[in-house]
Structure 1
Amino acid sequence: MTDIPKEGKLTRFLDFTQLIDMASECVGGKSDSPSFKEHEYTEFGKWMDGWETRRKRIPGHDWCVIQLGVQGIIRGVDVDISYFSGSYAPRISIQAANLNEENVPTMPPRGVKTGAAATPEEFEAISELNSDSWDYLVPMSELKLGDPDSSHNYFFVNSQQRWTHIRLNIFPDGGIARLRVYGTGQRDWTSSDSKEPVDLVAIAFGGVCVGFSNAHFGHPNNMIGERATQEPAFMSKTVHRKLAMARMMPRVGPKPMADGWETARRLDRPPVLENDENGLLQIPGSEWAVFRLAHPGVITQIEIDTRYFIGNSPDSCQVDGCVLTTQEEEDMVRNQWILPAHKWKPLLPVTKLSPDQTHVLDSLTLELQDVITHARLTIIPDGGVSRLRLKGFPSSICLLRPLREKPTLKLSLKAGFRANL
């Protein structure tokens, strides 16, 4: 068994909470805050919104294994013990592994077995993973109870490796309301099919929002994630050692508009709206979001999805791209993305949008023949977008793409950019 590191401490660096929750039931989204029902009880005891084990009366400690919804680099974790004031786990540790899918054993169907420990068949299957010997991301660390309804414990993770699974250990038993695993997705681009375009901004591959003007009702990262499912955040491969899954997290249904990016209504809109000769609203303002692509590349197709946004979709939108080094991106973040106009190159001109529809549009890239590293979606004047897909070809394999009656793609990257990838 791997040696357990010395006891850790809470982190003071909370910047990682702006990244995606890789363990969320909605890939790239944020899990709901836990709730409390004061007078509700079950046959197993008080109803609690989270994972709680029975009071341990045998040697050892409790643990579970979680398959991440997004595989990639973990920057930090939040162990939320809200409302578990009299039953929270005193200490935790977190281990991780990078497993090939073919090496993951098939788990017996479990379903919701509240109050029941893992079966011998489940223990036998999970033992093949040797999870007790996985690398430690967070050593054994004490949890602190804060406000009853907001008890977050943040831990910074110093690792550059790609992870697919984590093991949460609680010492010795108790309850945890939510486990959030913050980081960025990472894809093996060497296995990409050069003949088919790929979504270069997908959050699961490493795309991320690096700036936005407004996110009153929903973060732009939602646009590049997967759609919410009805699976709980503890995935189907979750197992536990000699413990009872006394209270499972409730199933979370899709939340269509909360599952996208939606801004507040702009206060500078005119009292009476009018169209121009092209049918576009004559409104002075707009909202925007900037994304770093998962991999530099050529965008050939753009998908703007306004599904579920029926009375609050944007009137129109446009998409632009540029090439930035790591240092330039950091400078832009500090300057609120006030980027010189000549830096941006149009990928999609101002285009009229319809509510509750998926718009699949050709990019101007085939004419521009340029690689980009960042993209900016501008919506006019405000509103909500469900999904953004920027499909194309990673720059490292663009030259391998067969010519389909299109001009040869001439790749260009700024001097010094490759060193910053």
Structure 2
Amino acid sequence: MADSPREGKVARPPDFTQLIDLASEFVGGKILFATDDFFAPAENLLKRDNPSFKEHEYTEFGKWMDGWQTRRKRIPGHDWCVVQLGIQGVIRGFDVDTSYFTGDHAPRVSIQAANFEEDKQPEIPQREVRTGAAATPEEFEAISELKSDDWSCLVPMTELTPGNPASSHNYFPVTSQQRWSHIRLNIFPDGGIARLRVYGTGQKDWTTGDPKEPLDLVTVAYGGACVGFSNAHFGHPNNLIGVGTAKSMADGWETARRLDRPPILENDENGILLVPGCEWAVFRLAHPGVITQIEIDTKYFKGNSPESCKVDGCILTTQEEEDMVRQKWDLPGHKWKPLLPVTKLKPDEMHVLDSLTPELQDVITHAKFTITPDGGVSRLRLKGFPSSICLLRPREKPMMRFSVKAGFRANL
């Protein structure tokens, strides 16, 4: 594989690109329909990896390209495809990436969106990945049930830049606060796009579901997010709260080895490693709530899992969070209350642990996950009950009363 020459200065990406890609195949995004997949299938748009270029590779239909590329249109109309988001939520921005499409990129694009509840969504036959083909009349008839022509327009028709290294990313911020489940990507009239990134935050309808069943209050699928961390050398902490189980070490949070490790390591009387430092990540919960169970998965981390960990929680307003971000989370110790005491971790293993929260009778909005001294973890699940549900649950023994910081209730 050979990359094409890279020239020019790449602009700094906007802040919204730090959010999760709601459309990625990695979180369950999928193509429901495409008018044409002649040179390369629309499924390539949703790949997690960055696009690549194989200089001398061809298929029976033409040049191999890592993206969605339609034939040169010779009939009326334009090409388009429909994406079902893997995570339904609020969209903050798009990246329409034309990498390596230089003489054959789509000249213009527009993006529409719609929101369908899962039980009200028309059944669309599953697509097969293919090249050298256009949509059949039956596929057009099936997708017409979604009435995508009438969806809300988030990005009006806009010119795209060709896929040169310095200009291949076409960023489009979105101000809508609505929840979306589907995207329609229109290209005018035809051509190629390497990737479509739909950046945003997950959003759950908290009025649905069984109030007796605990939920993962920190998952990105519901709107949880990492809002601070000490180190992310090999993997971002947002991976910890990702959808499903980890696929590999690359799908977890892994820090660099701390340079302040003692030359010779020793344990204390409780068997805990005596080391001076630690690494941490802070998460905003998708909804304030009470954590009853904590799952920590070190899957794939066999020679590089942490020695131990702990979890703490606190309640913060939006303004307090912003202040803490500016202060790099130098939060006074009394703000944090323990959810999980220092606990030994094993390599490549799922740890299911009870939280201390019910005993402390506290609702929390933020959680801090601390590992000692360093290493990698694949998943963190903080299971419990949203505060609005907790407050309505029948009293149990021991009686659990939940307190909310003064002035915060209006933000719930």
TM-score, reference length from structure 1: 0.88
Name the residue aligned to 1:417.
Answer: 408
Q: Is the 8 A contact 1:83 1:149 kept in 2?
A: no
Answer whether contact 1:28 1:225 (CA < 8 A) is retained: no
Which is further off, 155-164 or 187-196? 187-196
Q: Specify the alignment match of 1:319 in structure 2.
A: 311
Matches of 2:125 and 2:67, distance apart in 1: 23
- Structure 1 unaligned regions, length at least 5: 1-10, 229-253
Deviations 1:19-63 (A, max 9, x none): 111011222999211011000000111000111111111111110
Residue type of the alignment partner of 2:142: A
Superposition deviation, residue 142 in structure 1: 1.3
The 2-side partners of 1:84 and 1:145 are apart by 6
Displacement of 1:177 in angstroms is 0.6
> Which amino acid in 1 is paired with 2:249?
M
Match of 1:95 in 2: 112
Aligned residue identity for 1:359:
H
For the 8 Å contact 1:13–1:156, the answer to whether it is kept is: no
Match of 1:105 in 2: 122
Correspondence for 2:377 among 360, 385, 404: 385
Q: Secondary structure at the match of 2:362?
A: coil
Deviations 1:87-113 (A, max 9, x none): 111111110001122332222233122
Question: In structure 1, the residue corresponding to 2:374 is in which secondary structure?
Answer: coil
Please name the residue that 1:345 is paired with.
337
Match 2:301 to one of 291, 295, 309: 309
What is the alpha-carbon distance in structure 2 between the residues aligned to residue 64 and residue 393 of structure 1? 38
Corresponding letter in the other structure for 2:156: P
Show the counterpart of 1:241. Answer: none
Counterpart Cα distance in 2 of 1:419 and 1:399: 15
Q: Deviations over 1:114-165 (max 9, x none)?
A: 1111111111111011101100111111112363487211110010000000
After TM superposition, give the deviation of residue 255 of structure 1 in Å.
Answer: 4.1
What residue is the counterpart of 1:217 in the other structure? Answer: 234
Report SS of the residue matched to 2:128. Answer: coil
Matched residues in 2 for 1:121 and 1:382: separation?
A: 55
Report the CA distance between 1:195 and its aligned residue.
0.8
1:46 and 2:56 correspond = no
Instruction: Give how far 1:180 is off.
Output: 0.5
1:367 equivalent in alignment to 2:366: no
* 1:14 aligned residue: 14
Q: 1:66 to 1:28 in 2, by over 3 A?
A: closer
Deviations 1:235-260 (A, max 9, x none): xxxxxxxxxxxxxxxxxxx7411111
Identity %: 79
Question: Does the C-alpha gap of structure 1 residues 168 and 41 become closer, same or farther in structure 2, counting only changes over 3 Å?
Answer: same
C-alpha distance in structure 2 between counterparts of 1:13 and 1:384, whole Å? 27
Aligned pair 1:156/2:148, yes or no?
A: no
Per the alignment, residue 162 of structure 2 pairs with 145
Which sits farther off after the overlay, 292-301 or 406-415? 406-415
The answer for the alignment partner of 2:184 in structure 1 is 167
Partner amino acid, structure 2, of 1:411: F
* Cα distance in structure 2, aligned partners of 1:331 and 1:158: 23
The aligned residue for residue 356 of structure 1 is 348
Higher relative contact order (CA 8 A, sep 6+): 1
Distance 1:22 1:64 in 2: 16
**2:133 alignment counterpart:** 116
Displacement, 1:191? 1.1
Is the contact made by 2:103 and 2:162 (CA closer than 8 Å) also made in structure 1?
A: no
Q: C-alpha offsets along residues 152-201 of structure 1, whole Å, 9 cap, x if unaligned?
A: 11110010000000100111111111111000000010113211111000
The corresponding residue for 2:3 is none
- Residue-by-residue CA offset, 1:337-375 (whole Å, 9 max, x unaligned): 110101000000000000000000000011101000000
Deviates more, 1:93-102 or 1:32-41: 93-102
Cα deviation for residue 13 of structure 1 reads: 7.6
Deviation at 1:225, TM superposition (A): 1.1
Q: Take 2:118 and 2:357, find their aligned partners in 1: how far apart are those partners?
A: 35
Residue 300 of structure 1 is aligned with which of 292, 298, 315? 292
The range that moved more, 99-108 or 307-316, is 99-108
The one-letter amino acid paired with 2:235 is: G
The residue type equivalent to 1:416 in the other structure is: G
Instruction: Give 5+ residue unaligned stretches, structure 2.
Output: 1-10, 30-46
Instruction: Give the alignment's TM-score, normalised by structure 2.
Output: 0.90
Closer, same or farther in 2 for the Cα pair 1:41/1:13, shift >3 Å?
Answer: closer
Distance 1:146 1:40, change over 3 A: closer
Matching residue's letter, 1:328: E
- The separation in 1 between residues aligned to 2:52 and 2:163, in whole angstroms, is 16
Partner residue, 1:234: none
Per the alignment, in what secondary structure is the counterpart of residue 189 of structure 1? coil
Determine the C-alpha separation between the residues in 2 that align with 1:275 and 1:149.
Answer: 52
| One-letter identity of the residue aligned with 1:285 | G
Range that drifts further, 263-272 or 374-383: 263-272
After TM superposition, give the deviation of residue 85 of structure 1 in Å: 1.1
Letter in 2 for 1:49: D
Q: For 2:377 and 2:311, how far apart are their aligned partners in 1?
A: 13
SS in 2 for 1:193: coil
Q: Is the 8 A contact 2:309 2:369 kept in 1?
A: yes
Give the aligned residue type for 2:263: P
Aligned counterpart in structure 2 of residue 128 of structure 1, from 142, 145, 149: 145
Matched residue, 1:27: 27
Distance 1:13 1:261, change over 3 A: closer
SS in 1 for 2:201: strand
Tell me the secondary structure at the aligned position of residue 26 of structure 1.
helix
Question: Secondary structure in 1 aligned to 2:182?
Answer: strand
Cα pair distance change 1:28/1:339, threshold 3 Å: farther
Asked if the contact 1:82–1:149 (Cα under 8 Å) also holds between the matched residues in 2, the reply is no
Amino acid at match of 2:20: I
